[in-house]
């Protein structure tokens, strides 16, 4: 039976603080090689949420309440963090809802949505339900978005262009300079949704700059962020968009009437404030990701260079065979992926989880 987010949060109360803490730690446990199922098929932080976020949830007197003041506090904190006004922040049930609202507001049934292939699947599923036409443009050979082709594909009929940067599932990055040049040529009637769910993992790069750290001051730009990735709060499903006032108002008009619970809002505020945890997670991920590349190279396996907390690994055979092999050994990896049916996507977990990944890989009788 499917349980709604409202119902789930209703069960997280003061009398079940331990349960709340366990839910928040879920991604951490799932990536620990302790004899249980190891989930390397998600995009959550392998080290889990910060202790401050867990403590905030536990301190909440009644996490099942839906109070506007809690949402307002979260919205105000996000606005302060990004140096914008609160009316520029639109909250949603994870990035999925931000994508849905954007698709309904700017694509709908009369305009096209232009996306990369492959990219985050919810970008297209949101629009299929709304009846809009989807135009998919293959990534370039270097796995960056082919912005020239995306611009041409719109051909005046596009209402929304979706750019996930860095991209999911490839982990590849599109240069900020290319995006700025793209914006300068984009028709005034088109909006662009830039999904920065994995931006905190990029690290220092002269070719990358968040549209929140270096704002474009363009009413056509919508930037999406989530607490599900580096903040490790995937179970709470909190995302948000940052946009110009009128653009944000249009998005907000498509939001479904479901507020964020008090406990979830407070956990998100604590996670946002814990910059040390974000910094630590990014540093650990960079080290663990490099070790993944080292292990792949030692086995003469090809990978796509990633700027995120997951890596695409070339299996040299149908990926579903490898997915099933790992599943038989209680390890979950992602595949098959459109246009990349000989790749699996592997989330970078803790060192113990990754040792188990490579142990299982080496058990594969058909490995290269």
- For the chain, the domains span 5-50+275-363, 57-273
Alpha-carbon distance of 318 to 335, in angstroms, equals 9
| pLDDT given at position 4 | 40
State the maximum Cα–Cα separation within the chain, in Å, rounded to a whole number: 58
Question: Using one digit for the tens of pLDDT, what is the confidence trace for 118-156?
Answer: 998 765 665 555 566 889 999 999 999 999 999 998 777
Task: State if pTM tops 0.85.
Answer: yes
Q: Name the packing angle between helices 319-328 and 351-363 (round to 10°).
A: 110
Q: How many CB atoms lie within 10 A of CB 110?
A: 10
| pLDDT given at position 217 | 83
Burial pattern 192-205, b for ≥16 Cβ within 10 A else e, equals: bbbbbbbbbbbeee
Q: How many CB atoms lie within 10 A of CB 287?
A: 12
Question: Using one digit for the tens of pLDDT, what is the confidence trace for 19-39?
Answer: 344 444 444 444 444 558 999
Angle at 282 between CA 98 and CA 285, to 5 degrees: 105
Cβ burial of 59 (10 Å; 0-12, 13-18, 19+) is middle
Q: Name the packing angle between helices 245-252 and 94-106 (round to 10°).
A: 100
Cβ burial of 1 (10 Å; 0-12, 13-18, 19+) is exposed
Question: Using one digit for the tens of pLDDT, what is the confidence trace for 159-198?
Answer: 999 999 999 999 999 999 999 999 999 999 999 999 999 9
| pLDDT given at position 123 | 55
Pairing of strands 343-347, 331-333: unpaired
Nearest of 351, 292, 294 to residue 32 by alpha carbon: 351
On the question of a cis peptide bond just before residue 336, with omega within 30 degrees of 0, the verdict is yes
Nearest of 228, 230, 277 to residue 50 by alpha carbon: 277
Q: Which residues of the chain have pLDDT under 50?
A: 1-33, 62-63
| pLDDT given at position 259 | 73
Share of the chain above pLDDT 70, in %: 84
| pLDDT given at position 240 | 97
CATH class assigned to 57-273? alpha beta
Task: Look at the block and give the residue holding tokens 């339900």.
Answer: 129
Alpha-carbon distance of 179 to 259, in angstroms, equals 33
| pLDDT given at position 12 | 38
Share of the chain above pLDDT 90, in %: 68
Whether the Cβ atoms of residue 230 and residue 46 lie closer than 8 Å to each other: no
Residues in the chain: 368
Alpha-carbon distance of 192 to 190, in angstroms, equals 7
| pLDDT given at position 206 | 86
Fold of 5-50+275-363: 3.90.1150
| pLDDT given at position 156 | 75
| pLDDT given at position 17 | 41
């Amino acid at each position: 039976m499917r349980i709604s987010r409202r119902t789930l949060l209703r069960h997280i109360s003061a009398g079940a603080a331990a349960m709340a803490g366990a839910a928040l730690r879920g991604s951490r446990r799932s990536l620990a090689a302790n004899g249980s199922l190891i989930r390397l098929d998600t995009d959550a932080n392998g080290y889990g949420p910060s202790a401050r976020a867990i403590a905030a949830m536990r301190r909440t007197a009644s996490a099942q309440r839906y109070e506007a003041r809690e949402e307002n506090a979260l919205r105000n904190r996000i606005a302060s963090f990004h140096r914008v006004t609160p009316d520029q922040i639109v909250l949603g049930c994870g990035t999925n809802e931000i994508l849905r609202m954007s698709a309904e507001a700017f694509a709908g049934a009369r305009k096209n949505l232009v996306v990369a292939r492959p990219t985050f699947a919810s970008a297209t599923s949101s629009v299929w339900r709304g009846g809009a036409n989807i135009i998919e443009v293959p990534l370039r050979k270097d796995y960056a978005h082919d912005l020239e082709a995306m611009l041409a594909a719109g051909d005046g009929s596009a209402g929304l262009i979706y750019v996930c940067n860095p991209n999911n599932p490839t982990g590849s990055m599109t240069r900020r300079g290319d995006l700025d040049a793209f914006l300068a040529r984009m028709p005034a009637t088109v909006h662009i949704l830039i999904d920065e769910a994995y931006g905190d993992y990029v690290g220092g790069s002269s070719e990358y700059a968040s549209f929140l750290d270096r704002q474009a001051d363009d009413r056509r730009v919508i930037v999406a962020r989530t607490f599900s990735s580096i903040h490790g709060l995937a179970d709470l499903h909190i995302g948000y968009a940052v946009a110009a006032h009128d653009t944000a108002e249009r998005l907000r008009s498509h939001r479904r009437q479901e507020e964020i619970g008090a406990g979830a809002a407070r956990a998100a505020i604590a996670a946002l404030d814990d910059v040390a945890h974000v910094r630590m997670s990014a540093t650990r991920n960079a080290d663990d990701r490099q070790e993944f590349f080292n292990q792949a190279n030692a086995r003469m396996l090809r990978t796509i260079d990633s700027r995120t907390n997951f890596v695409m690994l070339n299996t040299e055979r149908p990926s579903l065979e490898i997915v099933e092999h790992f599943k038989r050994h209680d390890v979950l990896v992602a595949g098959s992926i459109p246009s990349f049916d000989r790749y699996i996507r592997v989330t970078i977990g803790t060192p113990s989880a990754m040792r188990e990944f490579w142990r299982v890989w080496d058990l594969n009788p058909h490995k290269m």
